[in-house]
Structure 1
Amino acid sequence: MATLVAVIAMLAVGCSDTSTGGSAPETPGTTAPSTTATPEPTTAEPTSEPPPEPTVPESTQPRQVKPSINLATAPVGGGSDQAAVRQCAQANWLAGAIPPGTTVTLGSVHLEPGNIFKLSQSSCPNGHRKCSGFVWKASNRTQPCYVGVVQVANSDEDKTVSVVIKARITCATKQDCRSVQAAAKKQGSQVGVSPVELPSKTPTPTPTLSPEPTKTVETPTGG
């Protein structure tokens, strides 16, 4: 009877060990492997700014060419204060008002006739602007320019030598150019210089050489 009770007790102990469902005891000196979570891939959030647009070179527009007219003779008036070998002739604009946006650029200067005087700007005092290259416009049309000359020969006739200045008119409109051209043709050039009587050059007399005296050679006589 005692033997039967002991067997039943042992069976009870064995059943209690296997029915608990617990995990097997860990072996000393070993650790369970750790599990590391793999990070999820990150995606860049789109920015609110649009991508830069490709640069396209701007198309160059053709330059606007203003209408212009050439004048063989600018409408100028004036002249020199007095007749002299060296003179400084003043030239003033004579064709009235110059429209806004219009310019009158003075060009080359020549003299008619051209054999009595020659151009020499040094005949004008310092500070007197020369006419060649000077520009008249609406704001300065009353300002004069100056042409210097020097006389190089006498004139057969007592006449004034004309100062003729070319000009180029550039306008905002064709109508402005036509208006200035019409006024210019009515005036022409009224600038002149008067010659003086240059002293005549008397030729220097050539000195006359006197002949050298002849020497008489004596002939020795025998005695």
Structure 2
Amino acid sequence: MTLVRSLVTWCLLLLLIGCGGSGSSDDPITFDTDSPAASQPSEPSVEPTDPETAQPSRQKPSIEIASAPIGGNVETTENGYQCAEVNWLGRNPIPDGTTIQVGSPHLEPGGVFELDQTGCGDKSPPCGTDLVWQSNTFKPCFVGVRQIADGNAVQLILSASAECATEADCESLQGQVPGSQISFTPGPPSG
């Protein structure tokens, strides 16, 4: 009987230890795995040292203008020379974000005048492929000619290309003033 009592006592004792713990609370013991103490600190991920890949470039809208809408005063100088002050007559002011690259001037029809910047003296800049017009930096350019034969009036043609901030801005540059409004009129026959 002592043996049975000893076994029963041990079983009860084990049962009390396993079920009750310290006996101060009836709540079960839980572990919070989300607490900062439960998780180990980790190192931040390593940033790559390679350069980031570039985003694909977006082409701005652009147009070619075979005969730019230009106008200006033509001044006759000495010995058959003339000089035209060339201004942009298209959408004015030129839209913000739009760049107009001036092309090379030419004359239609040919054979009466030839391009000769001497006719403009010290007026500058000359109209040419290194000239850019923008709304905030616009200033006229100059084209000089020299009369080489008798004939009728000759029109100054200045091609241009425009790069715009929007397609609508490019469309607004076309069709307002048709081409060049500048012509050179030959003087009396030389003799």
TM-score by length of 2: 0.68
Contact 1:123 / 1:148 at 8 angstroms: preserved in 2? Answer: yes
Does structure 2 retain, via aligned residues, the 8 Å contact 1:160–1:194? Answer: yes
Alpha carbons 1:161, 1:193 under 8 Å: kept: yes
Partner secondary structure for residue 90 of structure 1: strand
> What is the aligned counterpart of 2:88 among 90, 93, 112?
93
- 5 Å-filtered alignment, 1:1-223, equals 55-82=49-76, 85-95=80-90, 96-133=92-129, 134-141=131-138, 143-155=139-151, 159-183=152-176, 186-200=177-191
Whole-angstrom CA distance in 2 between matches of 1:90 and 1:188: 16
Give the match's secondary structure for 2:168: helix
Deviation, 1:137, is: 1.5
Query: How many residues were matched structurally?
Result: 147
> Structure 1, unaligned stretches of length 5 or more?
1-47, 201-223
Deviation beyond 4 Å, 4+ runs, structure 1:
48-54
Letter matched to residue 81 of structure 2: R
For residues 36-78 of structure 1, the C-alpha deviation after alignment (integer angstroms, 9 at most, x for no partner) is: xxxxxxxxxxxx9879655223212222211100001111112
C-alpha distance in 1, partners of 2:149/2:84? 18
Residues 99, 164 of structure 2: 8 Å contact kept: yes
Partner of 2:159, secondary structure, is: strand
* Aligned equivalent of 1:45: none
Q: 1:82, CA displacement in angstroms?
A: 2.7
8 Å contact kept, 1:90–1:191: no
Q: Deviations over 1:82-131 (max 9, x none)?
A: 37511111111112221110111110111011101111112212242111
| Of 164-173 and 85-94, the range deviating more from structure 2 | 85-94
Distance in 2 separating the partners of 1:79 and 1:61 = 47
Measure the CA separation in 1 of the matches of 2:71 and 2:45. 68
Q: TM-score, normalised by structure 1?
A: 0.59
- Distance in structure 2 (CA, Å) of the matches to 1:113 and 1:75: 18
Partner of 1:57, secondary structure, is coil
SS at the partner of 2:55? coil
Contact 1:78 1:192 in 2 (8 A): no
Rounded Cα–Cα distance in structure 2 between residues aligned with 1:168 and 1:59: 31
Give the letter aligned to residue 80 of structure 2: V
In structure 2, how many angstroms separate the alpha carbons of the residues matched to 1:66 and 1:51? 38
Confirm or deny: 8 A CA contact 1:79 1:193 kept in the other structure: no
Which 5+ residue runs of structure 2 have no aligned equivalent?
1-41
Q: Which has the larger radius of gyration?
A: 1
